[in-house]
């Protein structure tokens, strides 16, 4: 049996991986219900997009601010302990939200408070969840394990919104808002309430499955005072900065988050809404094509994990350059199939590299720092991407869509070329064992 096949077979025989993956699948599916139900609830209560933006900010800003501290706590205690606490916290928050919606007693200040709580819990659950795998599977199995985990996440991003939308449509989403800032949610918002209740249930079940997971035995860490958390964050940042290849990759990904992520999230919906031949349905098709490509790329990465153009770093840069080149003509499309084809290809390349990058970080970083490493990686895209989106919205007032897509795609090509020539990134290899 080939080594990759044997590794995947051993992985699937691992009961702890199965318990962890099954619970994560339920939890991620539940998250998609809240992702659809919460904005719908706010719009039903107020009809005000500014209020909706405030609610989303109350989730995203604390997540970005505290995710590095979350990573430090994961390393101090354990990914499992931190993840278990966040599951119970989310269970309570969503159960309260569901109960208030179904009872018709929810007011806007309660939505604000619960959204803030969800954002804070996410700041700790994300680094804990991404740091779990190296504590459950063998290092040789990380590539296959990441492929399965990230692929299932992508699958929930397909199924979750569809199921949530169907649920809300079948059971009712509530009447239009009265416009009062503190108006309660209408009592017939049954579908929204059930969506929150199902997410709460998913956290309860996934907490139970997580309790079945046994992690690798680790050397006990020296006791540290509570005030040392920020020092622990600083220690991790210093370690990553001193590692030349890690420093290069993190700076490169930061540049991508600032220059590329905003146009992806802002310009594509504007493109669909402003192009006569497209529209809302076309936007959905293009986003779906990108999701399908991402899922396919993850599957391919699991099947052929050693597929490389030279080294891992050279493959990342080459794929990014191709993605940049594919991004340039998006502003000129006149038919749905053109946008869908480009987005499918972009998703395929990005999905393939996402699995490889997660695996590389988990294998390179010492186990004692894995939580801080993954929290920094997630901070780059969750903390810097909103800045990019805000700048993109401002820039779009003075340039055309074709110019924006051309500038963004061209910037990615230039960034990849500069990283190839001026940095050690092209020499980054998969064989980067963590220091013990």
The pLDDT, as a whole number, for residue 199 is 92
List Cβ neighbours of 40 (8 Å cut-off, separation of 6 or more).
168, 173, 192
Positive or negative: CA dihedral 290, 292, 294, 300: negative
Give the pLDDT confidence score for residue 84 in this predicted structure. Answer: 92
Q: Give the global pTM.
A: 0.68
Chain centre to alpha carbon of residue 122: 11
Give the side-chain half-sphere CA count within 13 A for 320.
31
Cα 308 from Cα 202, distance rounded (Å): 38
Whole-number pLDDT of residue 221: 45
Q: What residues contact residue 108 under an 8 Å CB cut-off, 6+ apart? A: 45, 46, 51, 181, 182, 183
Q: Which domains does the chain have, with CATH numbers?
A: 1-212 (1.20.1250.20), 236-431 (1.20.1250.20)
Q: What share of the chain is helix, strand, coil (3-state, %, to 5)?
A: 80, 0, 20
Q: How far apart are the first and last CA of the chain?
A: 31
Give me the pLDDT at residue 219, please. Answer: 44
SS3 label, residue 311:
strand
Q: What is the pLDDT of residue 31?
A: 84
For residue 412, which of 350, 337, 344 has the smallest C-alpha distance?
350
Residue pLDDT tens, the chain, 436 long: 455 555 666 777 788 888 888 888 888 888 888 877 887 788 778 776 677 767 877 887 788 788 888 888 887 778 888 899 999 999 999 999 999 998 888 888 999 999 999 989 988 888 888 788 888 887 777 777 777 777 787 777 767 766 777 777 777 544 434 344 444 444 347 888 888 999 999 999 999 999 998 887 544 444 444 446 677 778 888 888 888 888 888 889 888 887 777 666 667 666 766 666 665 556 667 767 777 888 888 888 877 777 888 888 899 999 999 999 998 898 888 777 888 899 889 888 988 888 888 888 878 888 778 878 878 887 887 777 766 766 776 777 777 888 888 888 898 999 999 989 988 888 888 765 554 4
Q: Which long-range contacts (CB under 8 A, 24 or more apart) does 252-256 make?
A: 252/415, 252/419, 252/423, 252/425, 253/377, 253/380, 253/381, 254/380, 254/384, 255/415, 256/320, 256/412, 256/415
């Amino acid at each position: 049996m080939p080594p990759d096949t044997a590794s995947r077979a051993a992985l699937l025989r691992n009961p702890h991986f199965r318990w962890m993956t099954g619970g994560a699948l339920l939890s991620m599916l539940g998250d998609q219900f809240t992702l659809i139900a919460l904005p719908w609830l706010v719009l039903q209560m107020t009809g005000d997009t500014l209020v909706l933006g405030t609610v989303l900010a109350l989730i995203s800003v604390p997540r970005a601010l505290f995710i590095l501290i979350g990573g430090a706590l994961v390393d101090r205690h354990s990914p499992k302990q931190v993840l278990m606490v966040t599951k119970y916290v989310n269970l309570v928050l969503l159960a309260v939200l569901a109960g208030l919606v179904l009872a018709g007693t929810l007011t806007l200040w309660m939505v604000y408070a619960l959204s803030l709580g969800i954002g804070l819990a996410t700041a700790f659950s994300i680094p804990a969840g991404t740091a779990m795998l190296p504590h459950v599977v063998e290092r040789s199995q990380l590539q296959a394990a990441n492929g399965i985990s990230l692929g299932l996440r992508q699958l929930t991003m397909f199924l979750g919104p569809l199921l949530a939308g169907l649920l809300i449509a079948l059971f009712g989403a509530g009447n239009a808002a009265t416009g009062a800032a503190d108006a309660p949610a209408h009592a017939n918002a049954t579908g929204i309430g059930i969506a929150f209740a199902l997410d709460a249930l998913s956290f309860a079940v996934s907490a139970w499955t997580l309790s079945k997971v046994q992690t690798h035995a680790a050397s006990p860490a020296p006791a540290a005072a509570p005030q040392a958390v920020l020092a622990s964050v600083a220690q991790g940042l210093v370690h990553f900065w001193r590692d030349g290849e890690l420093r290069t990759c993190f700076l490169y990904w930061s540049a991508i988050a600032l220059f590329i992520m905003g146009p992806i999230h802002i310009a594509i919906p504007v493109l669909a809404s402003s192009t006569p031949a497209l529209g809302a349905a076309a936007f959905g098709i293009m986003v779906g094509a990108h999701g399908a490509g991402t899922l396919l790329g993850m599957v391919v990465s699991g099947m052929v994990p050693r597929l490389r153009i030279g080294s891992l770093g050279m493959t990342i840069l080459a794929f990014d350059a191709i993605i940049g080149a594919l991004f340039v003509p998006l502003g000129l499309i006149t038919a749905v199939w053109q946008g869908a084809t480009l987005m499918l290809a972009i998703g395929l390349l990005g999905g393939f590299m996402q699995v490889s990058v997660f695996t590389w970080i988990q294998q390179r970083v010492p186990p004692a720092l894995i939580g801080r490493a993954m929290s920094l990686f997630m901070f780059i895209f969750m903390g810097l991407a909103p800045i990019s989106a805000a700048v993109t919205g401002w820039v779009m007032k003075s340039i055309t869509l074709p110019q924006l897509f051309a500038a963004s795609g061209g910037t990615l090509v230039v960034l990849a070329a500069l990283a190839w020539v001026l940095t050690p990134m092209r020499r980054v290899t998969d064989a980067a064992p963590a220091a013990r």
